[in-house]
Each structure stands twice: as C-alpha cells, then as structure tokens.
Structure 1
C-alpha cells in the first residue's frame, strides 16, 4: 500500500473514531463526520445535516404508546354483523388529539379559509347545520346557534363529512408547520397563499400546496430540516380502537401478558363511576334508554341532552377524552365487513377495495349500501345506547354525508421512533 492511500485511510478512520467517541451516532447527535465515508457534514462539499432535537410538540396531541393488542368486539354482536371478530395485531406508536375537534377550532379553520381560499371552497367547508333539524322535534335553535354561539365553543363540531374532516387535517398541517418553520407573519396569514385556491391553468395549486410546495413547484417546507410535523390526519380504525381500549392502564410493569380486557375505555362492566365522591356518575355521554338522554331535573346524571363540553368526562388512561360517547368519530378506513380477516396484522388499514372489491356488493340493485365511498365511524354518541360505547363496535356512512352525531379528532405518526 502506498503512503498516500495509507494516509487517506488513516484520516477517514480518525474522523470515524472522532464521531463515535461519545458513543454511536444517533438522529439527534449524528456527529460532525459521516460514520461510513468520513466526509465532514455541513461543508461546501459535504451533505447538509440539520440540527434535530426530536419531533416538535404538536398542538393538541398526546402520545399513544403502541404495542400488541386484541382488536374486535368483546360483547355479544347484537346487530348480527359479525364484522369485527377478535384478532391479535400490533399498532405502532402514534399521536392523537386529546379531545374531539370543537366548534371553535372549525370556526378558526373557516376564518383562514375565507382569507386564503376561494369562495367556492369556503362554502364547501361549512358544516351542515341542518343536521339538527327534525320534522317532529323542536331542534331549530341548534340549527342557528350550535356552531357559532360562544357558549358552544368547546362542544364537538358536527355536521362535517369525512371529506370535510380530511380537508381540515390538510389545512391544520399547513398552518401548524407554517408557525413551526417561521413562515407566518405577525398576523398569522400564510405567506404562500391558501391551500384550497381556484384551479389555475396547467394545474391545481391546492394539491401542490398540501404537499409542501409553493405555486412554482419549489419546496416550501423541507422534511429534512426536522423542524416541522408530519401530517395531521384521521386515525386508522385500528389506531382509534387501540387508543380507546387504553389497556396500558391495566398493564403491570414487566408483564408481557395482556391479562385484562375492557368492554369500555375504562375498567369494569358498568357505565357509572364506582369510586369516590363521583360514585354513580356516568362516565360517558350516551342515551340511557328510550326517551332518556340526561336524567331528571335536580339530578341530571350525565348532564347532556345533546353533545357536551369536550373535556367533561374523565379521560382514559392515555389521557384521551370522550373515546366513548358524546359524538361518534370518523376514521380513515373504508368499510368492509371482512376487514378483520383481510388486512395486515401490523398497522392494519383498509384504504380501498383490494381483496374485497365494491363490485361484489349490489349497491345499484339496492341490495347493499357498501362501495368504495363509505367510511367507518366509531365510539358511540349522545344519541346512541351503551352498546355502541364499546371500542370494538363499528358502523359506516357515505364519506360525503354528515349527521349531528358524528365528529372527529386528528392523529399523527410518531416519526423516527418506535416508542
């Protein structure tokens, strides 16, 4: 070996040792030099490696530690659907909103949409307040007041379709990342324009902006910088069910066996609090029986004729509020009755009709309601009986439909870590 080559290898080796003298490199401490080439980072010739201290804290989110669980209905199948048979799966750790998206959050969304986007899109983003209207019930005040009256600010937004909820997630991602990346001015308006602008000749600006590019197609926010969050999105059905189970609260340290299972997002087989000063109080907002939404005057037990304050009931062991009752919640998955046996056992998710095509279901002949545009919703609502409070129950509705009993919350991957 000639001297120059020896010197070259020696220098590379020295760089590698220098980068590892405080232990092996990590995402937050990659070192000054590459551990495979010895090249120096952040020089004119070297690769740019941004400072990274871990995923930024996302507003409203709580961490959900993943793991193995048994998904599926643990109660008798009173609807006789047999569409969520028990099976063992593993769910990766993720983040989820601690509470349902509320009216004030949707009004904030409408505020920025009206500023930044087309009038056409603004109109499409308005919730359907007529979901409260009933021919044989005097719910007229909710049609006018529920969304905008200040007293209802922190009640869950309803009347939003699955499609509208997805648009909200896209907007929220952009707005949060503008703030984190320092791209918002003092007024909070977007420097890059709205996400949902009118189509221009040659392309759709809205679609590009949602992917982190400006109108010219240049990168707007760099993922490599690590100073922005992954996309807010609807949780998958498996993530939602896993988070609602909250079995972390039943687990003993060091015990690999899952020895307990819950019918509801809390311990026990009852829907009332069995302990302390609040003994006997309901643990969720649901319909107790025919015509009984709240109890009698002077002792209003669950206290809610309709929806209720999003923080009103005790959180589960992950710190999530109202994973049972108040409103049902949209999840990402399209509905199929056999998803439990079709999807993977790691992060299960059904995004389309793969293995179970819509053509198998006679929707045109009115023999089925199933196609590729019906989505799952979970959790039970103020209008549902206790059976639907169990995390394993599931129902579906068209993705462009809305009711007074369905809202949503957002989720996010835990990027760069398994814990």
Structure 2
C-alpha cells in the first residue's frame, strides 16, 4: 500500500486503537541510570533489564492486549524524549534524506496497490503529502475518523499541517509526518534502532507494578496535567488546560520512574515490530527479548502489513481514545505519515542488535 491509500486504512486503524482503559502488572525492582551519552543529540537513559507482565490484566483493555504474558528484556539505552524537529533536521542536513511524505508516486505504482479492476485514481492522489488533523467545529460520530483526518498534498515533517505551515518555533517539538521507513533511516544514522514493542512497554512502565499509566494509577484528569492529551470534547472542542492545542515541546511534563518523558501522550511512537492482533497468544512463556511476529496480520485489514505504534497522542482522551495507557496498542502501515505520529530510539547495551 502506498501512503496515498493510507487515508482509507487509517479509518479502521484509528478506530481499532481507541477504547477503554486497562491494568497490567509489571515486576521490576531496579532503577534506571541517566547518562549524557552515548550520543549528543538526545540524552539516553539506561533501562536495566528484567522481567515484567506485558498486556492488559482486566476486562477493559482492547482485544489485542490479551493475554497478559511474562516477558524478559535485556538492558538497553533509550532516548529520554521523542526525536525532535531539531534532531531530525540535523539528520536531513547531514544526509540529504527525503522522507516518504515528500515523494510523489506514479500512476503505475498506485494502480499496482489497488484491487484489480479499480478505476484510475485522480491526479491529486499522486501528489506528495500526508494525513493532517482537520477537526470539525461540531459534534460528529466518533466511529468515523474521516471526519477529522484529511490527506493534504504538501504536508511533510517540515510542513506538518500542509504547505502553509512550518516548524519555526517548534524545533523542540517531536517530529511528525515521518513514516516507519523514515524513522528507521534516522535511527541507523544515529547508530541506534527502533525499540521492540516489549522494550517500549517495559520502559513506559518506569519500574511500577500493576499500574495503568507511566505515572501510576491516578486518573489522567486528577490533579495537575500529566501528559499532553485532548482536554475537551473530541474532536471539535479542544480546551488547553494542559497548555497545548497540538504537540508540546518534549520534556514539558514530569518523566516516569525511568526518567523518560512523554511515554504517554504528545505523539504516538513507532516501534520495530510488525502487528499481529493475536500475537500475545503466540508468545512463548517467559520469552526473552521478543521481536514481534514474523508476519503481520490485522483482521480488520488483512491485505496490509502494519507496524505497531505506542503511547497515545495529543488527540487521545478518556472520551474517545485511551492510547496513553501503558498496555494500549495501535497499528498502521509503514508508509504512514501522520500529524500525531513520531518516534524515539534505543540502543542495545551489548554488541547485539542495532
């Protein structure tokens, strides 16, 4: 599937990712170490290896969060915050890299991804671009995400909302409109890699046991804002009680127990794993460093291979999408460029995976 058809598949993916909360226990005792290395772009935190229970443990999670299962992970370094526009710009300057959203495609390439007999696409479908959040000004059905997502020609990491926008003043906000391929390219340049889904959840829990969120069990709306999420009635009424109407500068909220920022909210984050809705039932007991299924499968869109994204975004709320729970999962195609999707990197402590 090309990114120009992602608009349709995202309608299903976004709905599947949104639901009620869940609890998942984790068994961890060690404390993370913060270091200024091993690179200079984004300070990394040493996450000490251990075992934890991955997935939801009550009836309020989504189906793909079950069954809860024990996983072991080795120690690894993780970026303390999401990769920023400033950091991604350094990568592009150094390499001349052109992102997926900045590349137009040919009619032949697009037709090859469509079912046989499909009519030829409109020329606008061949333009470079990405999905942009275009909220209505009135209440709409929450089972129709086409009400607030639009494909915009010219949207890219440098122009997140389209040609009339830029990232001036947002240098320290997380980069968005980057595909899984783009994230992989950045990670390789930085001498890192994308986290596995197991590593991501282990790190997001911050050493806590039996807690729903990176900060514990306290409700998102209790006390001071804990993450950059949707405050009003989604998607038409966005209050700014947390101070932000879109993305926020990284490190705007308190870190979790491992001193990692924005493991809930701000932007969804790519991980390395392919997505299989039933993968948790296939994982071996006490699996060590699971890297996801060999082949992806989304029963709601079986023809497309998708990758997992984690952490929720500024568009999530208790009313619509509780993606900021540590066990919550979402998925999308690797070509996807979205206004609320970014990434962070990890690095193995040993000389193993990169």
Give the TM bin, normalised by the shorter chain.
Answer: 0.5 to 0.7
- Is the 8 Å Cα contact of residues 324 and 379 (structure 1) preserved in structure 2? yes
Q: Which moved more, 1:69-78 or 1:234-243?
A: 69-78
Which structure is higher in helix share? 1
Query: d(CA) in 2 for partners of 1:397 and 1:235?
Result: 16
Question: Residues 171 and 82 of structure 1: is their aligned pair in 2 closer, same or farther, counting only changes over 3 Å?
Answer: closer
Partner of residue 411, structure 1: 346
Deviations for 1:168-213, whole angstroms, at most 9, x for unmatched residues?
A: 111222xxxxxxxxxxxxxxxxxxxxxxxxxxxxxxxxxxxxxxxx
Deviations for 1:347-385, whole angstroms, at most 9, x for unmatched residues?
A: 1121522xxx75xx7xxxxx7414573000011100112
Deviations for 1:297-326, whole angstroms, at most 9, x for unmatched residues?
A: xxx421111110111010001010000000
Query: d(CA) in 2 for partners of 1:102 and 1:75?
Result: 35
Question: Residues 285 and 342 of structure 1: is their aligned pair in 2 closer, same or farther, counting only changes over 3 Å?
Answer: same
Within-5 A mapping of 1:5-154? 57-59=38-40, 60=42, 61-74=44-57, 76-77=59-60, 79=62, 81-114=63-96, 122=98, 124=100, 126=102, 130-132=130-132, 134=134, 142-144=161-163, 147-149=166-168, 151-154=169-172
Residue among 331, 334, 338 paired with 1:399: 334
Deviations for 1:250-301, whole angstroms, at most 9, x for unmatched residues?
A: 4xxxxxxxxx31100012331146xxxxxx21101111342479975xxx42
Kindly tell me the number of residue pairs found equivalent between the two proteins.
267
Deviations for 1:123-159, whole angstroms, at most 9, x for unmatched residues?
A: 647497643363857999843465531x100111111
- 1:106 aligns to what SS in structure 2? helix
Question: Residues 135 and 264 of structure 1: is their aligned pair in 2 closer, same or farther, counting only changes over 3 Å?
Answer: closer
Higher relative contact order (CA 8 A, sep 6+): 2
- Normalising by structure 1, we get a TM-score of 0.57
Q: Radius of gyration: which is bigger?
A: 1
- 1:100 aligns to what SS in structure 2? coil
Structure 1 gaps of 5+ residues are 1-55, 115-120, 174-231, 251-259, 274-279, 362-366
- Is the 8 Å Cα contact of residues 230 and 238 (structure 2) preserved in structure 1? no
Structure 2 gaps of 5+ residues are 1-36, 104-127, 138-147, 153-158
Deviations for 1:55-79, whole angstroms, at most 9, x for unmatched residues?
A: x733321100111111102454354
Partner of residue 289, structure 2: 347
Instruction: Give the RMSD, CA atoms, in angstroms.
Output: 3.1
Residue among 180, 188, 194 paired with 1:234: 194
- Normalising by structure 2, we get a TM-score of 0.67
Query: d(CA) in 1 for partners of 2:247 and 2:301?
Result: 28
Query: d(CA) in 2 for partners of 1:159 and 1:397?
Result: 13
- 1:89 aligns to what SS in structure 2? strand
Partner of residue 336, structure 1: 276
Query: d(CA) in 1 for partners of 2:272 and 2:248?
Result: 24
